[in-house]
Structure 1
Amino acid sequence: MAISLTLITNLFIAVIALLHLYILVLEMFLWEKPAGLRAFRNTPEKAAATRVLAANQGLYNGFLAAGLLWGLWLGDAGLHIKIFFLLCIAIAGIYGALTAARKIIVIQTVPAVIALGLLATS
């Protein structure tokens, strides 16, 4: 039994949503813990000083994940919602790569662009 391109696309989008939920947890709840310090290469002092900003960023990542999950939940009717939130993620990744860390483009933008390409072909 062959797996449809639509199923592969939706699974890929679900993984991106889970990634953004993971980022939410890192930024909102683990920012000052060893996992958060390692993930963002922070010192305890810098993490303490930026804790509130990180929590705000985490909340935004949660909204991105919620948007993707909403689009998935709507099925075919959620196509434009998935496109919108994937574009938001891609643009945020580009901005993050230009202003914070280059690796963000690989973590955020590349998967979002791949998902957009899959949506365009499915």
Structure 2
Amino acid sequence: MSILITIAATLSAAIHVLIFYWESVAWTRPAVWKRFGIASAEDAQTTRAFAYNQGFYNLFLAVGALVGSVLYGLGATDAGFALGLFSVSCMLAAAIVLVTSGRGRLTAASVQGVFPLITVVLYIVSWTTEH
């Protein structure tokens, strides 16, 4: 089960690292800000600091998901479980919040939330079978 958790958590993290890149590094590129529904280069520049900060939240959650799954797989099950589950649960919660912000966000929320959902389910199944 720890292999499946590691794969799902790694996919969750990879998506969030990509989001980090878009928001914190490449935000002012037209292809990026248009992807996020920003109307103009001027608006992208205005929201740049916000996006930069938001991107780092995504990066930190990705690191937490990876470190948690590695710790869990290496036998530090309590610490790994807590860190990993917290990180992917935050990713999933953010995807749910994104859905509530408008119908046009369903695809983005699905991309952001599917692998964290799978990881949460795997963590819970693993924990219930071990206890």
The answer as to 2:112 corresponding to 1:112 is no
TM-score, structure 2 as length reference: 0.79
1:69 paired to 2:71: no
Q: How does 1:9-28 map to 2 (within 5 A)?
A: 9-28=5-24
Q: Number of residues paired by the alignment?
A: 118
TM-score for both structures, normalised by structure 1: 0.85
How far 1:63 moved relative to its partner? 1.0
Say if 2:16 and 2:59, in contact at 8 Å, map to a contact too: yes
Q: 1: distance between equivalents of 2:118 and 2:7?
A: 12
1:45 counterpart (42, 46, 57): 42
* 1:59-87: CA deviation from partner (whole Å, max 9, x where unpaired): 11011011112212313420111111111
Preserved CA contact (<8 Å) 2:88 2:116: yes
1:99 offset after TM fit, Å?
A: 2.1
- In structure 2, distance between residues paired with 1:102 and 1:116: 20
Unaligned runs of 5+ in 2: 127-131
Q: Which amino acid aligns with 1:31?
A: W
Offset of residue 90 of structure 1: 1.0
Moved more, 69-78 or 58-67: 69-78
8 A contact 2:8–2:116 mirrored in 1: no
CA RMSD of aligned residues (A): 1.7
Contact 2:11 2:115 in 1 (8 A): no
- Structure 1 stretches of 4+ moved >6 Å: none
Question: What secondary structure, in the 3-state scheme, does the structure 2 residue paired with 1:96 have?
Answer: helix
Q: Residue by residue, what CA displacement relative to the aligned partner does 1:17-42 show, whole Å, maximum 9, x if unpaired?
A: 11111111100011111341243132
Question: Taking every aligned residue pair, what percent have the same amino acid on both sides?
Answer: 31
CA contact (8 A) 1:68 1:81 kept: yes
- Secondary structure in 1 matching 2:47: helix
Is 1:89 the counterpart of 2:91 in the alignment?
Answer: yes
Whose relative contact order is higher, 1 or 2, with alpha carbons under 8 Å and at least 6 apart? 2
